[in-house]
A and B are shown apart, each in its own frame.
Chain A
Amino acid sequence: MKQEALTQFQDTHLTIIALMIFAIMFVGTIFFTYHKSRKSFFEKMQNLPLDEGGLQ
């Protein structure tokens, strides 16, 4: 099935572009998300819905 599917796909440059965008996107997301320096920032962000200040 895989072979048949790929033989019908004639725009292989799109596959390469998509793969690169995917790889960059996922590596970038993981890097930014799990960087140690952001711990305090995330703690502040996750409290935003609770931080209304005024009336509840």
Chain B
Amino acid sequence: MSNQNLLNTYDDDIVRKFLMACLIWAGVAFLVGLIAALQLAYWPLNLNLEWITFGRLRPLHTNAAIFAFAGNAIFAGIYHSSQRLLKTRMFNDTLSAIHFWGWQLIIVAAAITLPLGYTHGKEYAELEWPIDLSITLIWVVFAVNFFGTIAKRKEKHLYVALWFYIATIVTVAVLHIVNSIEIPVSFMKSYPVFAGIQDALVQWWYGHNAVAFFLTTPFLGLMYYYIPKIANRPVYSYRLSIVHFWALVFLYIWAGPHHLLYTALPEWAQTLGMIFSVMLWAPSWGGMINGLLTLRGAWHLLRTEPTIKFLVTAVTFYAMSTFEGPLLSIKSVNALGHYTDWIIGHVHGGALGWNGFLAFGMAYYLVPKLWKTELFSKKLANTHFWIGTTGILLYYISMWAAGITQGLMWRNIDASGRLLYPDFVETVTKIVPLYWVRALGGLFFLTGYLIMMYNITKTIQQGNAAKATETIPTPAHQMGSHEHETGHRKLEGMATVFTVLALIAILVGSVIEIYPTLSLHKYVKQENITSPYTALELAGRDIYIKEGCYVCHSQMIRPMASEVLRYGQPSTLEESMYDRPFQWGSKRTGPDLARVGSKYPNLWHYRHMIDPRTVTPNSIMPNYPWLVQHDTDFLILRKKLSVMKNLGVPYSDAEVSNADIDAQKQAQTIADDLQAQGAPAGLAKKEIVALIAYLQALGQKGVKK
């Protein structure tokens, strides 16, 4: 095909690539998720192998689901729909190829480094600094390619789906860059510049808006394109879509602090997060109604078209998730649900139901189109739909039950003012049967996926991608001046101004929330200021992060009677003021560790890490036998303390220059104590000792007990 002819066709090759990548990575994400679910139900499945233990596998699962599966689905949909909405080929095929292969390389890098324990220890932002840099570069390539396509478009006005894509590209860039500001210590280790409360606020501003602008806005864009397209009727209300867009991008960015309710975050920030979360009900449901009512007069398609079934169910799950999210953000509800499996259920309702089903619906529509054939079997697609839906419901309901059960058990206080379930493990064993139900739900979902892959493979085999070249139609509207247009109509023809306004919309909330906490001195009480970790404790902290302990343990005691009875005085923001990254956590599969220091002797921790069941019968925590085999890296401690000092941690020059020597002395003291109590000799150099030093320091840095 000549260059001119090529320019008159859509680049569907890149769409096929992203779609295939999406479907392949989906299998990895679902399989790893199922294994992780089984590990929680049956701990021996951790296999005593460090690379597949739950703490390292769970970040792999979340990254695969979000960035590999959902990410590639977004790119496939954006590349397909944008070309057709803008009536032009993508700006540059080379940039498209760099975007595709660069993104897959990043995913492979994540799949290798996360099981090896290279992690920031910040949820959904675990990848270390070289990969962070790569993400930034590839995202810029994507942005240049996308905005270049807008610049050379043949359709003057930007359809609402494109606004959602613009908001996604701009906001994800801002979120990723700000949350990844870090100082490298070595090739695969860095510390964030933000600490404690600042890091918490920035992280959950990022984490919440990763959900908003990676798993919501781009999928809403896809919804606004594919539902009208497949149902062959226009969106229910274009006016509503405009209000939906601006309200959503303006409000969503403020809601991050609802992940930090009842923490040491200042009360005003918590209240702000709660109020904006509740306000999100309106735009979320406005968009949902707009999506569903697009099918007015075509509801019969729900019976006959599996693609429509997936899309409608996806929007229904969007409705449920966006109702439940604000509900969980109300402080009194959050007090019960936070740290429990209710949150896990909520997340999976959105991820499996909304993102998963929308991606599947899109795939069932796109594969026959892109390979110029019919779907191999509608019956199999319907089977997939029902098995998948059953799987999601099993997952969702079991996690609801588990979360509410555990939340109620944690807070149950008897008439004499004592905890009814003082042993945390009691509240875990109670819900293990529900973990099996969850795993069954995951198995159903994975089975549905395998049926889809068979169906799609057969469809591709009978198709012919080479003949499926779509020619670009004559532009319906000539690009011209904007002088006779006013208001939003004019704005829609001015992509740059539109992008700047969208950027302002998300920056307003970001700046107003984050800026005040950068002045930490306003909130720190001098009498509560803590001392920093010793060199050995810092080494132990990095092992804690490497093993993903934060996945199951929080370090944040909430100001509630039941928490104070169980764990001690509420956590203060001063306690984590030097924590890079903060480790407040978001889930308690195990108990809170904020004040675990000095609670048990060193030998208890040693035995607990080797086999938790020797000290806590029925515990579901994995064994960590490799901690007594691996040596602590003492030599890097000078560099680590030096970086920390540059970031403002009050280490003296002597502490920095003697970091390794001081650490070895402290390690020897702990090792001697362990040996005296019956542990083997020669543990001083081992990682277990550094980890014990850190655990014993938690809550012991100068605050009231």
Binding site for B on A (CB under 8 A): 1-2, 4-6, 8-11, 14-15, 17-18, 21-22, 25-26, 29-35, 38, 41-55
Contact = CB atoms under 8 A, between A and B. Distances in A.
B6 to A, nearest CB: 15
Interface in B496-549: 505, 508-509, 511-512, 515-516, 522-523
Contacts of A5: 267-268, 270-272
Most chain B CB inside 10 Å of its own CB: which residue of A8, A44, A46: A46
Contacts of B515: 11, 14
A49 B225 contact: yes
Contact of A8 (B85, B159, B242, B267): B267
Interface size for chain B: under 10, 10 to 19, 20 to 34, or 35 or more residues? 35 or more
Interface stretch (B470-478, B628-636, B662-670): B470-478
27 contacts: A1-B271, A4-B267, A5-B267, A5-B270, A5-B272, A6-B268, A11-B512, A14-B516, A15-B512, A29-B246, A33-B242, A33-B488, A35-B487, A38-B487, A44-B157, A45-B238, A46-B234, A47-B234, A48-B155, A49-B85, A49-B224, A49-B229, A50-B229, A52-B473, A53-B473, A53-B474, A55-B470
Contacts of A42: 238-239
A25 B239 contact: no
B228 interface: yes
Contacts of A54: 470-473
A2 B271 CA distance: 8
Interface in B596-651: none
Contacts of B652: none
Nearest to A34: B239
B559 interface: no
Given A25-B246, A46-B238, A53 B476 contact: yes
B437 to A, nearest CB: 37
Nearest to A42: B238
Contact of A9 (B157, B159, B516): B516
A33 to B, nearest CB: 5
The B contact surface, by secondary structure, is helix
Nearest to A29: B246
Contacts of A14: 511-512, 515-516
B84 interface: yes
Contacts of A44: 157
A38 B228 CA distance: 21
B235 interface: yes
Interface in B123-169: 155, 157, 159-161
Contacts of A32: 242, 487-488, 491
Most chain B CB inside 10 Å of its own CB: which residue of A31, A43, A50: A50
Given A29-B488, A38-B487, 16 more contacts: A8-B523, A25-B246, A29-B242, A29-B246, A33-B488, A38-B489, A42-B239, A44-B157, A45-B238, A48-B157, A49-B159, A49-B235, A50-B234, A53-B473, A54-B472, A55-B471
Contacts of A50: 228-229, 232-234
B161 A29 contact: no
Contacts of A25: 246, 250, 505
B49 interface: no
Nearest to B84: A52
Contacts of B159: 45, 48-49
Most chain B CB inside 10 Å of its own CB: which residue of A1, A22, A49: A49
A9 B268 contact: yes
Contacts of A29: 242-243, 246-247, 488
A53 B155 CA distance: 12
Contacts of B471: 54-55
A23 to B, nearest CB: 12
Contacts of B228: 46, 49-50
B320 to A, nearest CB: 26
